[in-house]
Amino acid sequence: MPFTSSSMLTSDEIHSLELISLYVDDYKTLKKININLNPSFKTFFDDDNVLIVENSNFYEKKEDRSNIKLLCGENGVGKSTVLELLRRPYLSENNILVMKTEDDKFISNNEVVINYNGVIYDCKNDDFELKFSELSLDNSDLYGHGLEFKRHFFDFYMKEKKLFDEIDSELLTNFLISDVRMGSFVEDIMSAIRNKLGIHFIDEHYVEELRKQDLFSFLFYVHFGDNTFDTWLSNNSEEVQSILFSITELNIVESLISIKNLFFRAGGNGSHVVGELQELLDSEYPIDEYEEVLERFLNISDSFDKAVKPFYAQARVHYWEGVVRYSFYFRGYKRIIDEKRYLENLSLGEYYSVRSRYHLFAKMLQQDSAIILEDEPDCHLHPEWARVFMSSFVDSVESIRQYLGETRDPLYTKKIYNFVLTTHSPLILSDFFKDEVIFFRKVDGKVIIEDEVPDCFAGNIGSLLVDNFFLNKVIGEYAEKRIRKLIVEMDHARKSVITEEEKSRMKRVISCIGDRLLRRLLEEKFERCINENY
């Protein structure tokens, strides 16, 4: 992305770029809105003129060389749109993104005049192309195939072990090779079998049995969904249909193996290689044997490809090389006496510290990146996990910076990282000072940024929901309606006779209310109503 600047920037200065602000003229829900993206400054826009003043009220950053900003607001107010424009501000005309170096040089995606501390800076000359860290934490452990946490962490750990020493110097001591039992992976196999063979009652149990009974058949069906199988199935329809005609839920696995054998009937099919793989899978190893086992695994993978590829070519079916590597992964664990501790058995703090380091490392490693964007990274977290998220996040940033400075380039210890996060969680919000947060709100169909909002740092969760997320209530809508109905029923009980069954039902509802004060008030009201009736 081409940027203009107030003067030529050196490579060191590029690495000290600090995000200042984004002005959006007209894009999706955002119209003529100025978004301050640095708590240390305040910005004001007037056409192509930008006034930047220092925010004397803000004095405490979460991490010394990082600028962290949090975007809050209800759905539809443009939080994700801001992230989209930070990646590509040119998506609509007249957007203005401003950044500055430590020695007060400025860049922008547009030609602007900047007034900072009474000095005028003209950004009018095309200078360089700025890159962004667009690797994004997905909301599943996924985050892009190459960043899947459980699947790829052990290999990463073996390369960057020292990064985790402060968590546990021996986080992993042993490993094994396991098949990838991820939901989407197994679902792809089942979907392919259903669509190609019409076996609609297949489920995960059969896939697991196929893996146990005949590993080679399991590997065959991993990529069975490829549309080039259609021609082969058509050319062998009589034999395939003969197998399928007699299929029952009791012999699904045997039938799948028979169809695989039909595909490889012309000769040898690599079963000998699969035997070597099976032997490798059935064993567990100390971590110091990793290089040796990895080499064996890769050799088996290559041998398997060479053995089966000719049969795919003969049948005119596409073969994806690396099916063995795709289907299995190295799973590390720590042996504590006779027990094993896998990643999912780590304590909450350890788990999030480990995962944060894994995901952030790839982003922070990119030297020429300027902005790291996280769209609801806490999404789907258990409340306690959300509560510790920011602490783990900041600790991870500090550790990775130090580690990169020691193992890659001292420049990393000086580099400024700009993080922009979005959230709906009051637990996340309570870890931020008010100046670090932008509160979006929609008023009469127009998105605005709230200027006057209560402090949120270490705030009460219920209060934050009302004051900072603009909730009308702090209980669910159904619960509120049910309680209102209960109050009407109690008022009715004051004036007329009610049955013991009705009284018992009302008492049960009241006893289920989680808010202790509300429950107590309703208990007292119930007693008054019943007493007045009798």
Domain that holds residue 95: 2-65+76-133
**Neighbouring C-beta atoms of residue 181, cutoff 10 Å:** 13
By the 8 A CB rule, do 421 and 374 touch?
yes
On the question of pLDDT at 300 being above 90, the answer is: yes
Please state, rounded to an integer, the average pLDDT across all residues of the chain.
Answer: 83
User: 427 vs 341, which has greater pLDDT?
Assistant: 341
Is 228 domain-assigned?
yes
Last residue of a domain, one of 290, 324, 343: 343
By the 8 A CB rule, do 15 and 404 touch?
no
Q: How would residue 351 be classed by pLDDT, with cut points 50, 70 and 90? A: confident
Rounded distance between C-alpha atoms, residue 395 and residue 81, angstroms? 28
User: Do 212 and 123 reside in the same domain of the chain?
Assistant: no
Q: Which residues contact 38 (CB under 8 A, 6 or more apart)?
A: 18, 19, 20, 21, 67, 69
Is 152 domain-assigned?
no
Rounded distance between C-alpha atoms, residue 283 and residue 285, angstroms? 7
Is 287 domain-assigned?
yes
Last residue of a domain, one of 84, 104, 133: 133
Output phi, psi for 204, to 5 deg.
-60, -30
What's this model's pTM, rounded to 2 decimal places? 0.77
Specify the pLDDT at position 141: 33
502-507 average pLDDT score? 85
Is 303 domain-assigned?
yes
Token pair for 257? 């193996």
364-370 average pLDDT score? 73
The domain tally of the chain equals: 3
User: Do 183 and 126 reside in the same domain of the chain?
Assistant: no
Highest mean pLDDT among 138-152, 302-316, 506-520: 302-316
Specify the pLDDT at position 107: 87
Rounded distance between C-alpha atoms, residue 123 and residue 98, angstroms? 10
Token pair for 292? 């040796």
Rounded distance between C-alpha atoms, residue 144 and residue 164, angstroms? 22
Q: Is 29 exposed, middle or buried (0-12, 13-18, 19+ CB in 10 A)?
A: middle
Specify the pLDDT at position 142: 32
On the question of pLDDT at 463 being above 70, the answer is: no
Specify the pLDDT at position 157: 94
User: 36 vs 201, which has greater pLDDT?
Assistant: 36
User: Do 183 and 127 reside in the same domain of the chain?
Assistant: no
66-94 residue pLDDT tens: 899 999 988 889 999 999 998 888 888 88
